[in-house]
């Protein structure tokens, strides 16, 4: 065989949509492809722009993105965030015959409507917590009184990761119901809600590359959703990750594949959805077995920042196989034995109000620990051309090392060397897995 020969079929001109750390990791991995593609990013951020051209078209500007892809003779579009997918970006690209990695709006509904997903899970008997759906306050309050506390209240629609309240008292649960249904909290996303039984256990993120009924499971990871050390404080988009998640033993992963991954992929296909993209399955490892918390229809952020650096397989070849219906013939993934840790540097105050525009000072690349990468998320250039904070999650610092402890130590050494007035990060990323030993 000729493993170094690049398939002539691989696309040479790519567009990555999005502006977060996830997209920085996607751009990095795609640029590293042996096919040496040209990669554009829209809109990108200050860090992505150091590596590849960024075009100021917003991630939710569907007509603008389609026009950009046509103008730039793009051959393959990789979509990072959920919003353009739910707005039909993939549908529009399919209409003009442009291959895209990311589901059409019918598939994106698996993330954009928690009620739709819960109905699919229940119908196809995929393990998940019992739940009921409401658009009126009175029946929701009556149902609440029949359930155990804690209880989970979820806005049906997309709420930027904030639409889930794990209520630890009946009063808190009632307030959450009233806030959404009467108070207009989360706008139209909260006009309908789910009341869902609380699951207990550890969470894990299973990212699956899906193409119709074919799928490839990516390396396991665990996120740290709460803002504070020891999993305290409000939920965030994710404050740090590590991979692999050793709590998911090979035997447990086989069970997750049998009980959740394959049934999910088949259920989606059976519902008539031609899904191409990442199915990110949030799973609670409960004492009675793995249970689905949610689907996302995109790569995780910051899961991507630990999963992709561990892949030795060409990401472009993998995503292209999915988008062109050839995933079944794609061989097993090559995964590096190293551990990866990503520590998110946020702006102090996130996920509530936080400052923007603080200057960030980076150590010289040679001063970073080995195998350490600084992915940018909420960064921009100011008028003086300095890199400044421009979002809640600012950077993701990933280190790869032969042990989890070494990976964490290197990521934290890099975090210490990055200077920024509003810098905040959790000090315990990876600690749970380290302490389990
Ligand atoms: P989601 O937006 O669905 O990812 O939910 C955000 C977070 O809320 C999850 O990552 C869990 O930590 C938590 N959560 C959601 N549903 C449940 C549940 N049924 N039981 C316990 N925690 C939950
Ligand atoms: N890190 C969780 C998410 O991407 O939704």
Q: How many CB atoms lie within 10 A of CB 423?
A: 18
| Predicted local distance difference test score (pLDDT) of residue 2 | 42
Instruction: Give the residue from 111, 135, 124 showing the smallest Cα distance to 194.
Output: 135
Q: Express as a percent the part of the chain with pLDDT over 70.
A: 98
- Which of 154, 161, 220 maximizes ligand 2 atoms within 8 Å of its Cβ, making it the mutation to test the pocket? 161
Closest C-alpha to ligand 1, atom 8 = 164
Q: Which ligand is nearest to the CA of 302?
A: 2
List C-alpha distances in Å: 73 to 52, 70, 89, 413: 16, 5, 17, 42
Give me ligand 2 centre to Cα 427, in Å. Answer: 19
Nearest ligand 1 atom, CA 293:
16
- Are the C-beta atoms of 70 and 399 separated by less than 8 Å? no
| Predicted local distance difference test score (pLDDT) of residue 436 | 85
Q: How many CB atoms lie within 10 A of CB 418?
A: 18
Closest C-alpha to ligand 1, atom 16 = 293
| Predicted local distance difference test score (pLDDT) of residue 4 | 44
Cβ-count burial 6-36 (b if 16+ within 10 Å, e if not): eeeebbeebbbbbbbbbbbbbbbbbbebebe
- Are the C-beta atoms of 256 and 284 separated by less than 8 Å? no
Instruction: Give the residue from 251, 225, 260 showing the smallest Cα distance to 240.
Output: 225
User: Is the model's pTM score more than 0.85?
Assistant: yes
Question: Which residues lie across from 167 on neighbouring strands?
Answer: 151
| Predicted local distance difference test score (pLDDT) of residue 3 | 43
Q: Which residues line ligand 1 (CB under 6 A)?
A: 129, 152, 161, 164, 166, 196, 198-199, 203, 225, 235, 282, 293-294
Question: What DSSP element (H or E) covers 282?
Answer: strand 276-286
Residue 260: Cβ-neighbour burial (10 angstroms; 0-12, 13-18, 19+): buried
Instruction: Give the residue from 231, 202, 16, 11 showing the smallest Cα distance to 102.
Output: 16
Q: In order of start, what are the domains of the chain with their CATH numbers? A: 13-104 (3.40.50.20), 130-197 (3.30.1490.20), 202-329 (3.30.470.20), 339-436 (3.90.600.10)
Q: Which residues line ligand 2 (CB under 6 A)?
A: 223, 237-238, 296, 300-301, 303
Nearest ligand 2 atom, CA 223:
1
Locate all alpha helices (DSSP H) within 145-277, ordered by sequence. Answer: 170-181, 250-256, 262-270
- Are the C-beta atoms of 281 and 297 separated by less than 8 Å? no
| Predicted local distance difference test score (pLDDT) of residue 437 | 65
Give me ligand 1 centre to Cα 164, in Å. Answer: 7
Tens digits of residue pLDDT in 311-367: 999 999 999 999 999 999 998 999 999 999 999 999 999 999 999 999 999 999 899
Which ranges of the chain have pLDDT less than 50? 1-8
| Predicted local distance difference test score (pLDDT) of residue 186 | 85
Q: Which ligand is nearest to the CA of 231?
A: 1
Give me ligand 1 centre to Cα 193, in Å. Answer: 14
């Amino acid at each position: 065989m000729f493993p170094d020969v690049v398939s002539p079929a691989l696309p040479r001109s790519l567009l990555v949509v999005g502006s977060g750390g996830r997209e920085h990791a996607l751009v990095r991995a795609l640029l590293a492809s042996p096919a040496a593609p040209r990669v554009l990013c829209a809109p990108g951020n200050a860090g992505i722009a150091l590596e590849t051209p960024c075009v100021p078209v917003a991630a939710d500007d569907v007509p603008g993105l389609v026009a950009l892809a046509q103008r730039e003779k793009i051959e393959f579009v990789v979509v990072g965030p959920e919003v353009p997918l739910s707005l039909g970006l993939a549908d529009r690209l399919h209409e003009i015959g442009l291959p895209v990695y990311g589901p059409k709006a019918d598939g994106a509904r698996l993330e954009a409507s928690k009620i739709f997903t819960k109905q699919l899970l229940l119908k196809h008997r995929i393990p998940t917590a019992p739940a009921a759906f409401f658009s009126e306050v009175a029946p929701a309050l009556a149902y609440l009184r029949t359930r155990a506390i804690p209880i989970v209240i979820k806005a049906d629609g997309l709420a930027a990761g904030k639409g889930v309240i794990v209520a630890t008292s009946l009063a808190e649960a009632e307030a959450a119901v009233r806030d959404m249904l009467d108070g207009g909290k989360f706008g139209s996303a909260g006009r309908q809600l789910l009341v869902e039984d609380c699951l207990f256990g550890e969470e894990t993120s299973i990212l699956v590359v899906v193409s119709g009924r074919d799928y490839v499971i990516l390396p396991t990871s665990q996120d740290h959703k709460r803002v504070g050390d020891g999993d305290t404080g409000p939920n965030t988009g994710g404050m740090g990750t590590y991979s692999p998640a050793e709590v998911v033993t090979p035997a447990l992963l086989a069970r997750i594949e049998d009980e959740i991954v394959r049934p999910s992929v088949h259920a989606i296909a059976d519902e008539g959805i031609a899904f191409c993209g990442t199915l990110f399955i949030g799973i609670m490892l409960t004492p009675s077995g793995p249970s689905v918390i949610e689907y996302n229809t995109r790569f995780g952020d910051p899961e991507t920042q630990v999963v992709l650096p561990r892949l030795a397989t060409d990401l472009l070849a993998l995503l292209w196989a999915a988008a062109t219906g050839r995933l079944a013939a794609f061989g097993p993934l090559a995964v590096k034995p190293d551990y990866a840790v990503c520590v998110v540097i946020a702006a102090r105050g996130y996920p509530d109000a936080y400052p923007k525009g603080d200057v960030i000072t980076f150590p010289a690349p040679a001063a970073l620990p080995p195998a350490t990468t600084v992915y940018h998320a909420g960064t921009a250039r100011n008028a003086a051309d300095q890199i400044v904070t421009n979002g809640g999650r600012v950077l993701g610092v990933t280190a790869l090392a032969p042990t989890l402890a070494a990976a964490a130590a290197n990521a934290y050494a890099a975090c210490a060397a990055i200077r920024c007035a509003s810098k905040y990060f959790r000090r315990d990323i990876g600690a749970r897995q380290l302490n389990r030993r």
